[in-house]
Amino acid sequence: MDYRLSPRYKFPTEQQDAFDAYLWVLENAEQIHIDPQKIAVCGDSAGGNLSAVVCRMAQKQKIQMPCAQELYYPFANMDTETNSMKKYRNAPMCGGKQSKVFNKLFFGDMPEPLEYASLVEAENLEGMPPTYIESAEYDPLLDGAVAYGEKLKVSGVAVEENHTKGTMHGYDIAVDSVFVQTLMKKRVAFLKRYFQQR
């Protein structure tokens, strides 16, 4: 999706662009020959935030929810003082120190509503779609991903978690590796399960 990017466009422009794209797909499902009951959202890192926010916006606006969401090492918590943020301050690809810079560029001043930036701040996640969360071991975003998964489960949402080991943020760059190809099979299997239920 070609959404407007920070820092030129501040929060919540990107989130709204993602939601508008979802609405367009829903409204044009017949024209583009898809089943509107079989739309899932997927994203990695900041894209994981956008995917989850699409579902949260759908929940709050009481419109049709995606049938599933897949989030790969997602940005789910603005807090840059979590254990993983401090422990992996200098991690490759995305370190805790960089995350503070990214937050400032992405969000500017403290965003409102905060829950669209920091999903762990959402008060009620009931009715969110079945969720697959994949995380990286050496990733400052790890604690946020785990906390978001726990919050979903407390709200009664079906959550499948795959906390990968020996990995860093952005490991999908090794797209041809056996490791990533194995993960792809798990992701596809998750989506198939929910596509076939409807």
The arithmetic mean of pLDDT across residues 24-40, rounded, is 96
Q: How far is CA 102 from CA 35, 108, 191, in A?
A: 36, 9, 30
Residue 85 has pLDDT above 80, yes or no: yes
Spatial separation of the C-alpha atoms in residues 148 and 128, rounded to whole Å: 12
CATH superfamily assigned to domain 13-25+34-195: Alpha/Beta hydrolase fold, catalytic domain (3.40.50.1820)
In the sheet that holds 159-163, the strands lie side by side as: 40-44, 68-72, 131-135, 159-163
- 45, 84, 99, 135: the active-site residue: 45
> What are the extents of the domains in the chain?
13-25+34-195
Q: What is the number of residues in the chain?
A: 198
- 51, 84, 135, 139: the active-site residue: 139
Spatial separation of the C-alpha atoms in residues 152 and 130, rounded to whole Å: 9
Q: How far is CA 163 from CA 120, 135, 139, 142, 160, in A?
A: 18, 5, 11, 9, 10
Per-residue tokens: 53: 């926010």
Per-residue tokens: 169: 């943020």
Residue 163 has pLDDT above 80, yes or no: yes
Catalytic residue flag (residue 118): no
Is the full-model pTM beyond 0.75? yes
Q: Output phi, psi for 65, to 5 deg.
A: -85, 145
Spatial separation of the C-alpha atoms in residues 146 and 154, rounded to whole Å: 12
C-alpha dihedral, 13 to 14 to 17 to 23, nearest 10°: -120
pLDDT, tens only, 86-132: 999 999 888 888 888 888 887 777 778 888 989 999 989 999 999 99
- 44, 118, 135, 169: the active-site residue: 169
Residue 1 has pLDDT above 80, yes or no: no
pLDDT, tens only, 132-156: 999 999 999 999 999 999 999 999 9
C-alpha angle 82/84/88, rounded to 5°?
A: 125
Residue 198's pLDDT is: 59
Cβ-Cβ contacts under 8 Å for 149 (sequence gap 6 or more): 131, 133, 159, 161
Confidence of residue 6 (pLDDT cuts 50, 70, 90): confident
| Helix (H/G/I), strand (E/B), else coil: 69 | strand
